[in-house]
Structure 1
Amino acid sequence: MLCPFCRKGETKVVDSRGSQEFVIRRRRECLDCGRRFTTYEKIEESPVTVIKKDGTRIPFDRQKILAGVEKACYKRPISPEQIERIVADVERNVYENFDREVPSRYVGEQVMNLLRLTDQVAYVRFASVYRSFQDVNDFVQELQPMLQNRQRRER
C-alpha cells in the first residue's frame, strides 16, 4: 500500500474492522513519514448475472434494488437503516444461494417478502410495479391473503 503523502510503499495496519456489508476499514501508518490514513477494502465477489423475464442477462446491481425499495417506501415511516437492511439481506441471499446466475424472479420475491414484513403499503407499491398490475382487480388479488390473515388474527 502506497502512502498517499510520501508515496513510499511500507505501511503497517494499526486497526482493522468491518464497517459495512462486505467492506473492511483499515487504519494504516506509513513507516517512512509516520502519517496515518484510512483505507477501505471491498471483497471482490465473482460477478452474478441476473436472468430477466425475457431471457436477457444483466449484471447484478445493488443500486437497482435500492432504488426500487426507496420508491416503494417513499413517504412511509421506514428509516434509511431499514431500507439498507432490506437491500443488504437481498444481496446476501443472492450471493449465498447463487454462484453465477440468479433469476430476476428470485430477487423480486426476496424484496417483496422483506417489504411485506416491514410495511404493507410499501409491499403493495413494489408488488404493483414488479408484477405489472393492470387494474384494480390485480390489487385486490394481492391484498386478499393479507386481509384474510388480518381477520384470523383479530378473532
Structure 2
Amino acid sequence: MRCPFCGHLEDKVVDSRESREGDSIRRRRECLSCTRRFTSYERVEEVPLVILKKDGRREPFDRQKLMKGLLLACQKRPVSLARIEELVADVHARLMERPDREIRSRELGELVMDELKALDQVAYVRFASVYRDFKDLPDFVKALEGLMHKEAHKEAVERGGAMAAPEPAKPISPALFPGEAEAPVLRTRRK
C-alpha cells in the first residue's frame, strides 16, 4: 500500500477491524519510512450495479449521490447522519440481493421513498418532490393526501378497527351557480 504522505510502498498493519455490515475491513497502517499512520478499506470486488435512467442512459450506482440526495431531503429534520447512512446501506444491500445488476431509476427511487416514508414524512415529501418532478401545487397535494390516507389507515388498524370507506363526493347543485333559475337571491339591507 502506497503511503499517502511520502509515497513509500512498505507499511505495517497496526489494527484490523471488520465493519458492522461485514462488507469491508478497515485497516490502520503505519508507514515504515515516515512512521505516519493512515487507514485503508478493503471490500470484495463486485459486479457493479448499473442504473438505467429514464432517457435510456446507463450510469453506475453511486452511494455518494444517493447520500447527497437524502442529506438534502433530511436537511433541518430530526434524522441523524448515522440513520441516513444506514438507509443507504439498506437500499444498497437490497439492490445487491437482486439477480440482475441493471436497475431502473424508477425502481430505485420507489425503494428509497418507501424507506424514507418510514423514517421521516417531511423528508419523504421533499425527496418525492424532486424525484417525481412535481410541477405545481396539485402534485404536492396529491402526494400529501396519499400520505395522510395511509397514516389514517395505519392508525385505524392499530386501534383494532377497519377504516371506513371514504364518502363519495357530493354532486354540486345547479342552484349554487348565479344566473340559474333556482339560484338563491341574496338581499342586503341598506342603512
Calculate the TM-score normalised by the size of structure 2. 0.66
Indicate the residue corresponding to 1:60 in structure 2. Answer: 61
Structure with the larger strand share: 1
| 1:30-73, Cα deviation, whole Å (9 max, x unpaired) | 9x99x8x6753332221121100111101111111001100100
CA distance in 2, matches of 1:96, 1:81: 22
Report what 2:133 is aligned to.
132
In the other structure, the counterpart of 1:121 is 122
Displacement, 1:17?
Answer: 2.4
The corresponding residue for 1:25 is 26
Q: CA deviation at 1:99?
A: 4.0
Q: For residue 52 of structure 2, what is the aligned residue in structure 1?
A: 51
2:79 is aligned with 1:78:
yes
Q: Distance in 1 between matches of 2:151 and 2:30?
A: 58
Q: CA contact under 8 A between 1:23 and 1:40: conserved in structure 2?
A: no
d(CA) in 2 for partners of 1:2 and 1:64? Answer: 28
* Alpha-carbon distance in 2 for matches of 1:70, 1:61: 14
Give 1:41's aligned amino acid: Y
Can you give the 5+ residue segments of structure 2 that lack an aligned partner in the other structure?
160-191
> Normalization by structure 1: what TM-score?
0.79
Match of residue 181 from structure 2: none
Secondary structure of the structure 2 residue equivalent to 1:102: strand
Residues of 2 paired with 1:29 and 1:131: CA distance? 48
The 1:39–1:151 alpha-carbon spacing in structure 2 relative to 1, beyond 3 Å, is closer
User: Which residue in 2 is equivalent to 1:102?
Assistant: 103
Name the amino acid aligned to 1:72.
Answer: A
Question: For residues 115 and 23 of structure 1, what CA distance do their matches in structure 2 show?
Answer: 25
- The answer to whether residue 42 in structure 2 is matched with residue 42 in structure 1 is yes
Q: Residues 145 and 41 of structure 1: is their aligned pair in 2 closer, same or farther, counting only changes over 3 Å? A: same
The answer to which structure, 1 or 2, has the higher relative contact order (CA under 8 A, 6+ apart) is: 1
Alpha-carbon distance between aligned partners in 2 of 1:29 and 1:79, rounded to the nearest angstrom: 32
Closer/same/farther in 2, CA of residues 111 and 2 from structure 1, 3 Å limit: closer
RMSD, aligned α-carbons:
2.9
Change (3 A) 1:144 1:9: same
Whether the 8 Å contact between 2:11 and 2:29 is mirrored in structure 1 is: no
Aligned length: 152
CA distance in 2 between partners of 1:14 and 1:84 (Å): 27
